Amino acid sequence: MYRYLPIRKVYARQVLDSRGNPTVEVEVTVGEGVIGVNGYTGRASVPSGASTGKYEAVELRDGEKGNYVGLSVEKAVNNVNTRLAEAILGENALNQCYIDALILEADGTDNKSSIGANACLGVSMAVARAAALALRIPLFQYLGGCHTRRMPVPMMNILNGGVHADNAVDLQEFMIMPVGASSYQEGLRMCAEIYQFLKISLREKGMSTGVGDEGGFAPDLANTHEVLDFILDGIRRADYDPGKEVSIAIDAASSELYDAGKDAYYFPGESKMRGEEILRSREEMIAYYEDLVEHYPIVSIEDPLCEDDWEGWKKLTETLGEKVQLVGDDLFVTNEKKLACGIKLGVANAILVKMNQIGTLTETLTTVDMAHKAGYRTIISHRSGETEDPFIADLAVACGAGQIKTGAPCRSERNAKYNQLLRIEDYLGNLTVYQNPFGRTD
C-alpha cells in the first residue's frame, strides 16, 4: 500500500479541557492528491496535569499577558502552525520516529521549552492518527502491530483528594482494580457498580457526592484509614470480594505533600481534622505504607515518596517492592534517562506513562520498551485535565501495558477512554487477553 504518505497540512487551534482551561488541538492532513479527495485528517488534543512533576517537559502557556487568566496556549498553537508545520510538511507520516525526530530538532532544547511539549505532542499524536486513518486500520493496531490483544485492567480513581479536590483527603487518588474480572467489559461494569454504591453510602451519611477533577467523589473523610474502610464497604455492598475480585491502588502524589524546609511530609487535611500539625518523616512514611499494605488489599502505590527522594524510594522498594507495585510518576516523568537511573538503582518496579510528560509518541514508546525489558510494569495514564480524545485507550492496548489509569466512570472525558476500550474489546472479540497484572490473588 502506501510507502510514502506525505503530510499535506498541519493546523492547530485552542480548545477547552475538562477543567475549562485552554489546550492545544492539532489536525494533520496526509495523503496524495488534492486534500479532501484523497486526504485523511487525524485530530488530537493534549491533556494537562495539576500535580505536575518538577522534571516534566515544559507545557507552554502564555502567562501574564495571555487570555484565560494567563493560561491561554496561543504561543504553542502558533508554534505548531509555523515552526512545526515547516519542519514536517511533505515528510512521510508513516515514519513516526523520523517525524518525532524532526519535532525534537525544531525545538532544540532538552525539555521542549522552546516550542512547548503541548505543541509537540499534539502534532506527534495527530500524525499517528492520520497515518492509521489513511491505512484504514484502528489506531491501537497501527501503534501496536498485528499481535496486539491485551486489554488493560482499569485503575479506577473513585475517590479524589490532594490538589484534585477541595476536601480534607491528603493522598490524591484512591483507585479500585477489578483484578478478578474475566474481561475488560466485566471489569468496567464491576467498577461502575461499586462507584454507584459509594454514592449511595455517601448520601446515607449525609456527605457530599460532588466529584473531583478525575470524577471520583471528594468527601471530607478524616484520614486514609477512613477512606479505605469506606471503599472496602462499597466493594462489599456491590457484592464483590475485596482483594480477590477487586483490589485497591493509591496515588499518594507525595511530591505535593513534601515540605523541603522541614524535610518531611505535611498532611494538611489530617492536620485540620485532628486539630494538630501532622508531619511524617521519610521513615514514618515508609512505616505508614507498610501498615496500610498489611491491613488493606492494596496492590499498588504510586509516588509514595517525593520526586527527589531516591534514597527513600530505594529503601521503600527494598521493604515493600516484593509485595506491592511501586509506581514512579513524578519520579520518572516518562523519561528514558530517569527510568534508566531507577532500573540501575533498583528503585520502584513500575512506571506511570503520560505522553505529555515527555512530549512525543516515539519517546513515550521508547520508555515503555525500556520498562518492559527491565521487568517494570507500565500503566498508561490520563492527566487530571483531560479532553474528549481517547488516544491513551488505544495506546494502552498497543503497548500491552496491562493497566490503564483514567479516572472514575464519571465525566465524559474519562469515559471517552473507557468507552473506546469497550469498542476495541468488541472489535477483537474473544481474541483479547485480560489478566490480573499481579498474578493470582487467591
Catalytic residues: 214, 354
String of contacts with Zn ion for each residue 230-269, x by CB under 5 A:
---------------------x------------------
Q: Which is nearer to ligand PGA, 384 or 387 (CB)?
A: 384
Nearer to ligand PGA, 247 or 384 (CB): 384
Q: Which of Zn ion, ligand PGA, none does 160 bind, CB closer than 5 to 8 A by kind?
A: none
Helix 184-204 and helix 224-237, axial crossing angle in degrees, nearest 10: 120
- Beta carbon nearer to ligand PGA, 253 or 398: 253
Tell the smallest beta-carbon distance from residue 112 to Zn ion (Å): 20
Task: Work out how close the CB of 322 gets to Zn ion at its nearest, in angstroms, rounded to a whole number.
Answer: 22
Task: For residue 394, give the amino acid letter.
Answer: D
Q: Give the start-end residues of each E strand in 68-198.
A: 150-151, 153-160, 173-177
Q: Is the dihedral of CA 159, 237, 289, 399 positive or negative?
A: negative
- Find the helix packing angle between 224-237 and 282-295, rounded to 10°: 20
Q: How far is the CB of 101 from ligand PGA (least distance, A)?
A: 27
**Cβ at position 48, least distance to ligand PGA in Å:** 7
* Rg, Å, the chain Cα set: 21
**Could you give the string, one character per residue 198-237, with x where binding to ligand PGA holds by CB under 6 A and - elsewhere?**
----------------------------------------
Interface mask toward ligand PGA for 348-387; x: CB under 6 A: ----x----------------------------x-xx---
Number of residues that bind ligand PGA (CB under 6 A): 12
Tell me which residues in 234-273 interact with ligand PGA (CB under 6 A).
251, 253
Residue 251 beta carbon to ligand PGA: minimum distance, rounded to whole angstroms: 5
Which of residues 18, 23, 52, 378 is near ligand PGA by CB under 6 A?
Answer: 52
The one-letter code for the residue type at 12 is A
Handedness of CA 355, 356, 361, 362 (dihedral sign): negative
Report the amino acid identity of residue 222. A
Question: Nearest approach, Cβ of 107 to ligand PGA (angstroms)?
Answer: 22
Nearer to ligand PGA, 180 or 385 (CB): 385
Burial class (CB within 10 angstroms; exposed 0-12, middle 13-18, buried 19+) of 419: middle
Pairing of strands 264-266, 258-259: antiparallel
Q: Is 49 in the site for ligand PGA (CB under 6 A)?
A: yes
Give the three-state DSSP class for 407: coil
Other CB atoms within a 10 A radius of the CB of residue 114 amount to 15
Contacts of 28 (CB under 8 A, 6+ apart): 7, 9, 10, 11, 41, 42, 93, 123, 126, 127, 129, 130
51 belongs to the binding site for ligand PGA (CB under 6 A): yes
In the region spanning residues 301 to 340, those forming contacts with ligand PGA, defined by CB under 6 A, are 329
Find all residues with CB under 8 Å of 211, minimum gap 6, and list them: 160, 217, 218, 408, 410, 411
Distance of CA 335 to the CA centre of its chain: 14
113-172 residues in contact with ligand PGA (CB under 6 A) are 172
CB neighbours of 344 closer than 8 A, spacing ≥ 6? none
Q: Which of residues 28 and 159 has its CB atom nearest to ligand PGA in the complex?
A: 159
Single out the segment in contact with ligand PGA by CB under 6 A; choices: 49-57, 92-100, 190-198, 287-295.
49-57
Size, binding site for Zn ion by CB under 5 A: 3
Nearest approach in angstroms of CB 331 to ligand PGA is: 11
**Partner touching 383 among Zn ion, ligand PGA, none, CB below 5 to 8 Å by kind:** ligand PGA
Q: How far apart are CA 228 and CA 131, in angstroms?
A: 45
- Is 302 or 386 the residue whose CB approaches Zn ion more closely? 302
CB of 351 to Zn ion, least distance (A): 11
- And the C-alpha cell for 63? 502567562
Report d(CA 325, CA 348) in Å as an integer.
8
* Chain residues in the site for Zn ion (CB under 5 A): 251, 302, 329
* Chain residues in the site for ligand PGA (CB under 6 A): 49-52, 172, 251, 253, 329, 352, 381, 383-384
